[in-house]
Chains A and B, each alone.
Chain A
Amino acid sequence: MTLALAVAALTAVGIWLVLRGGAVRLIVGFVLLGHAANLMLIAAGGTDRREAALTGQVEPALAADPLPQAFVLTAIVITFGLTVYLLWLAPRAEEAAGPGDWPPEGSP
């Protein structure tokens, strides 16, 4: 339930930020949306089993599902790379787009 609420909150705030316009809001919005998707992936593996997934040391029924964790790791790396690229692009796009093309920070 906590996870579901967290996903809902992250998605809501993320979408709101993306739709607000402005480069930094867009970037933060996508970071939040990415986290929402990552939490969904974690939830997909089941959150009731949390022991380390090591064969021979842990009861298989208690071991966490390692696959979603691997998915999330990959997704985090991709989101991180994209965020860096967006941060590189944002000032250039703002400069190139000229007046009126990209609403400046703080504009409604």
Chain B
Amino acid sequence: MTSGAWLPLLFAVPILAAAVSVLDRSGRLGRVLAVAVPAGLALAGGALVWATRDGQVVVAQVAGWPGGVAIPFVADLFAALLLTLIGLLVVASMVFAVASGVAADPLVAPMVLVLTAGVAGAFLTADLFNLFVMIEVALLPSYVLMARTGGRRAARATRLYLTVNLTASTLLLAGLAAVYGTAGTLNLAALAGRGGEPVVATAVGVVLVALAVKAAVVPVHTWLPATYPHASPAVTALFSGLLTKVGVYALIRVVTLVYEPGPTLTAVVVAVAAVSMVVGVLGALGEPTMRGVLAFHMVSQTGYVLVGLGLAGAVGLAAAVFYLVQYATVKAALFLAVGAVEVRRRTGVIKELGGVAAEHRWTTVTFLLGALSLTGLPPFSGFWAKLGILGAAVEAGSAVAFTTALVVSLGTMLSMLKLGTGVFWGTRPAPAPDAAAEPAPVGAATAGAAADLPGRIAAADPDHDRRPDWDARPTLLRAARERGWPAGLVAPGLVLALLSLVVGLYPEPLLGLAQTAGQVLSDPTTYVRGVLGG
């Protein structure tokens, strides 16, 4: 165990940066800080990876109280890897946000910083109540981001997003009360191994249900594809990289600490994960918009990560860690690639798109790298990730996990083909008249026509309700019209996609780290001793 009194800074610095950045009304300071601070977070995460690479944990007991009494901040290898990852993803999304014009709103950068702080805090805390607080700290700015960067229809999506998340948070709080009432503590290290007591196991189960909503696991996933595509592309990429990952992280952390691995746990988690994989991939095929496909796909990918958790043991958890890290990178790259297309073409509906490959090479390359990696073809990082999951399934003798993982890969390929053929290949269709903006025929301009407007829009455009309309904001329109394919739109996604290729070509370092992280997760002794002392 290493002492790391500076760990709370990873939470405090982004919050302070957010507070400072609102002082500059023009938003310039905020835009600089929202790139610089997450970059620093990535570096600090890298340092933590180095410090924990041999399976140690770095612990900060806030204010020097003894272990078990103090508010604990802990970084093990799993948390350190994710911290590095989210630092990179925030930088990429922020650069894209500036290029696409979303960050012209001076509130965006401070909100991104608070979101970063909440997510970093959630990865580091070793206390269930602080986990709740950190999740709330991360969610509050996400409500603002969704409402402010989306278009008119995003207000409705925000309402759904808010309602679901508030319900889940209330359930989480009630679950915490049940855990405290039954176990007498909310310290994760003190809760380790308490899953053997039926009352504690049930109480923690309530917490897990709430976390499953945040992670968008089937059957509590429907909010995600209905809301994420309505934010602006940069914000969708940010949310996909950060918010649902907190849910997945917390599920893995709580399950590995509290419950003993056994056939019942494996059966439950693998069943939930397998259903998520199948439902997610089928749902993605039916979505009419680019980001809708990718958002629904997240449900399926979360399933893959949870399969690793369900198979338990160091091998399964190592596979889950590797999968989570590489998939978050690839997914953000894909969201940024289709986001760039959406900013340029001003539509996200697949059938109105086509021929992007002929127009812009590098966005196409980004998409291609990301899509091949997500499908799991060699030599991309997704190949090693899926191989790891399949290997863990073989070792655990779980035919269900193995078959589902293989079959769902095929579905992944299909939905990537749908995006590829619909958006990047083919020819650009003739611009369709904008149904919503089309003036009503003069003869039809009666008093009744206005009342029937929603009906007429629906008839003219069946995708109307699901069409993201974030670019209706004037600043975004200007940004989209003025420039061609600026580097800020293309480079962030391309860099992330190339990272996936590099990890695919040289998987050894990350595989080794994931292996160690899996061992630390499967045997909580180091974690517990680090937090409680002694």
Contacts and interface: CB of A to CB of B under 8 A. Distances in A.
Given A43-B181, A93-B155, A97-B152, A86 B162 contact: yes
A71 B155 contact: no
A18 B156 contact: no
Nearest to A46: B181
B454 A44 contact: no
Contacts of B140: 81-82, 85
Given A18-B163, A82-B166, A89-B162, A71 B176 contact: yes
Contact of B147 (A81, A82, A92): A92
Given A26-B163, A37-B174, A74 B133 contact: yes
Contacts of A89: 143, 147, 155, 158-159, 162
A96 B155 contact: yes
A38 to B, nearest CB: 8
Interface string A19-39: 000000010001001101110
B143 A85 contact: yes
A100 interface: yes
B170 A33 contact: yes
B170 A37 contact: yes
B166 A30 contact: yes
A88 to B, nearest CB: 9
B129 to A, nearest CB: 6
B177 interface: yes
Given A86-B162, A98-B454, A44 B152 contact: no
A99 interface: yes
Given A18-B167, A82-B166, A97 B178 contact: no
Query: What does DSSP make chain A's interface, helix, strand, loop or mixed?
Result: helix
Nearest to A11: B174
A52 B275 CA distance: 51
A44 B155 contact: no
A24 to B, nearest CB: 13
B402 interface: no
A99 B173 contact: no
B431 to A, nearest CB: 25
Give the interface size class of chain B: 20 to 34
Contacts of B136: 78, 82
Contact of A78 (B133, B158, B163, B174): B133
B170 A34 contact: yes
A2 to B, nearest CB: 16
Nearest to A15: B167
Interface string B450-462: 0101100000000
A41 B156 contact: no
A105 B181 CA distance: 39
Interface in B135-171: 136, 140, 143-144, 147, 152-153, 155-156, 158-159, 162-163, 166-167, 170
B180 interface: yes
A40 interface: yes
Interface residues of A, number: 33
Contact of B155 (A38, A68, A97): A97
A37 B172 CA distance: 9
Interface string A48-73: 00000000000000000001100100
Contact of A41 (B155, B158, B177, B451): B177
Interface string B361-402: 000000000000000000000000000000000000000000
A101 B177 contact: no
A74 to B, nearest CB: 6
Contacts of A104: none
B152 A96 contact: yes
B163 A41 contact: no
B362 to A, nearest CB: 35
A67 B159 CA distance: 33
B480 to A, nearest CB: 21
Nearest to A67: B180
Given A45-B180, A93-B147, A40 B159 contact: no
B156 A93 contact: yes
Nearest to B132: A75
A13 to B, nearest CB: 14
A68 B140 CA distance: 23
A44 B162 CA distance: 27
Given A41-B177, A45-B180, A93-B158, A98 B152 contact: yes
B356 to A, nearest CB: 30
Given A18-B163, A37-B173, A100 B178 contact: no
A43 B177 contact: yes
A96 B178 CA distance: 40
A102 B159 contact: yes
Given A34-B170, A97-B155, A40 B177 contact: yes
A41 B176 contact: yes
List the 7 closest pairs (A to B, CB-CB), nearest first.
A44-B181, A40-B177, A96-B155, A93-B155, A37-B173, A44-B180, A41-B177
Given A41-B176, A85-B143, 6 more contacts: A44-B177, A74-B129, A82-B140, A89-B162, A93-B158, A97-B153
Interface of A: 18, 26, 30, 33-34, 36-38, 40-41, 43-45, 67-68, 71, 74-75, 78, 81-82, 85-86, 89, 92-93, 96-102
12 contacts: A26-B159, A40-B177, A44-B178, A81-B140, A82-B140, A85-B143, A89-B162, A92-B147, A93-B147, A97-B152, A97-B153, A100-B454
Interface of B: 129, 133, 136, 140, 143-144, 147, 152-153, 155-156, 158-159, 162-163, 166-167, 170, 173-174, 176-178, 180-181, 451, 453-454
